[in-house]
Amino acid sequence: MLELCGSEAHHARDVLRLKSGARVALFNGRGHEITAEITKVERDHISLRKLHEARTPPLRCRITLAQAIPKGKNMDLIVQKAVEIGAAEIVPLVSARTVVHLDRDEAAQKQTKWQNIAIEAAKQCGQNWLPEVHAPQSPRDFFGGAVPGASHRDAAADLQLIGSLQADARHLKTVLADYEREHSERPGSVLICIGPEGDFTPAELNLARSHGCQPITLGPIILRVETASIYCLSVLSYELLG
């Protein structure tokens, strides 16, 4: 017997107004999905009967988005779209030119909020592998792995990229083609770093480059932060997840 409790039970009962006999899809965020039928709706929980279960393999390429936190609610949008496009991890960065500054409590609250946005986006788009949204951290802590929970830096991604306005930045298509030509296969993991409204500082770009990030250009038009993130993720998804 399966049960929904807490906020999930509230959402099913009071928002979706599901009744006994309704069918729902449950997932654990690690590729396991169960189709179930509601058997009883009570005040504090909902009982369900399992009908079918399936397992979805991970996407072919593990994409990590390291995103400098933009102003306003744009980070909410970026997290939502990153989940829909297929990112496996999202790392909010507090760079030198980031407008938003967070103390420890505010950072924890934001992380919880963005993780909840990721959960809702995964539900809506049927993504059975739930991306992890990490705690906000500085580029130095991210590349140095000094922040608890930054285990994704224990092993560098096969291909590491950073959006850049510098003259030596190369087109993403060229970088991907060069990787496949050199390795005779597509990368199994990619890190893409996107800066804030004022771009990363030269010191931050040099830090990223010293840790293996290749600077990429997104074309002659300067894109807004959220557009740049969605653009890069869309290209990587098209090239590497299909």
- State which fold the 2-55 domain adopts: Ribosomal Protein L25; Chain P (2.40.240)
* Residue the block writes with tokens 């296969």: 185
Q: Are 193 and 161 in contact (CB under 8 A)?
A: yes
* Residue the block writes with tokens 């996407």: 59
- In one-letter notation, the amino acid at residue 126 is G
Give the distance from CA 120 to its chain's centroid.
13
Q: For the chain, what's the residue count? A: 242
- The tokens for 44 are 């504090």
Convert the pLDDT of each residue in 169-192 to its tens digit. 999 999 999 999 999 999 999 999
For 203-220, give one letter per residue: b (16+ CB within 10 A) or e.
Answer: ebbebbbebebbbbbbee
C-alpha pair distances (Å), 67 with each of 53, 88, 136, 166, 230: 35, 13, 9, 18, 11
pLDDT tens, per residue, the chain with 242 residues: 788 988 888 888 888 898 999 999 999 999 999 999 999 998 888 999 999 999 999 999 999 999 999 998 999 999 999 999 999 999 999 999 998 889 999 999 999 999 999 999 999 999 999 999 999 999 999 998 654 444 445 578 999 999 998 888 999 999 999 999 999 999 999 999 999 988 899 999 999 999 999 999 998 888 999 999 999 999 999 999 97
Counting residues of the chain whose pLDDT is more than 90, the rounded percentage is 74
* Residue the block writes with tokens 């991210």: 142
- The tokens for 83 are 């989940």
Class of domain 62-240: alpha beta
Domain limits, the chain: 2-55, 62-240
pTM of the shown model: 0.88
Give the distance from CA 170 to its chain's centroid.
24
Using the Cα atoms of residue 175, residue 181, residue 182 and residue 186 in order, give the sign of their dihedral. Answer: positive
